[in-house]
Amino acid sequence: MCPFCYIGKRRFEKALEHFEFKGDIEVEWKSFQLNPHMETDPEKSINEYLAGIKGWTVDYARKVNDQVTSMAKEEGLIYNFDTAVVANSFDAHRLVQLAKTQKKGDAAEEALFHAYFTEGKNIADHSTLQAIGSSIGLDAVEVSEVLKSDKFSNEVAIDVYHAQKLGARGVPFYVLNGKYGVTGAQATEVFGAALQKSYQDWKTNKPVEQVTNIQGETCSTDGDCA
């Protein structure tokens, strides 16, 4: 649900596409909820939600989101904040965890990003999640059974715990080779340089001395996206 995550995904993908050794790179998505207590409200837009929690006017919230929309457009993405639904993302994360067991984690993330930011769909709604699951090739019955249960809840919680232990306080947050932390929707060139450095370290089996964290635009747990 962080607008910078979809932008960051595109920029990272561009960097990876031009990386000489991309065939050696494995990308794994992890769960992280900015606001685990958010209550789903299909009647409220994100602009209205931000205005309420920030003390802004709806017009000002729209202006802020318009700036992010322009940034997304540069990456070929279409954002429609006026129709984006305020929704708790926990079940969407469980869907991603299911998809990961079938090597469809990236497909699930892409479908969820598009559904939320572009199509204005309620990603807390089970029928919506079932349709998204089916669209990426997951078994509809299995998706339904997972959503009706608490399956993959522990996996989501474990991911969040590990992210917090690594120092993640916002998203997007990338960890390369267990050594380099990249925070935010960095420029494609920054991702490319981080890939190159971490790959060379991996090839030469250099020990991990410390995590180097590169900062960029993020959405934080207090609701700020900047």
**pLDDT attached to residue 205:** 82
Q: What whole-number distance in Å separates Cα of residue 95 and Cα of residue 155?
A: 11
**pLDDT attached to residue 219:** 85
Q: Tens digit of pLDDT for each residue in 84-105?
A: 999 999 999 999 999 999 999 9
Task: Please state the rounded mean pLDDT for residues 170-191.
Answer: 94
**pLDDT attached to residue 222:** 63
Q: Is the pTM of this model over 0.95?
A: no
**pLDDT attached to residue 208:** 53
**pLDDT attached to residue 207:** 55
Q: Tens digit of pLDDT for each residue in 43-71?
A: 998 999 999 999 999 999 999 999 999 99
Q: Which residues are 183's β-sheet partners?
A: 173
185 and 2 in contact (C-beta within 8 Å)? Answer: no
**pLDDT attached to residue 223:** 61
Q: What whole-number distance in Å separates Cα of residue 66 and Cα of residue 61?
A: 9
Closest CA to 31 of 99, 130, 129, 119: 99
Q: Tens digit of pLDDT for each residue in 102-129?
A: 999 999 999 999 999 999 999 999 999 9
> CATH topology for 3-160?
Glutaredoxin (3.40.30)
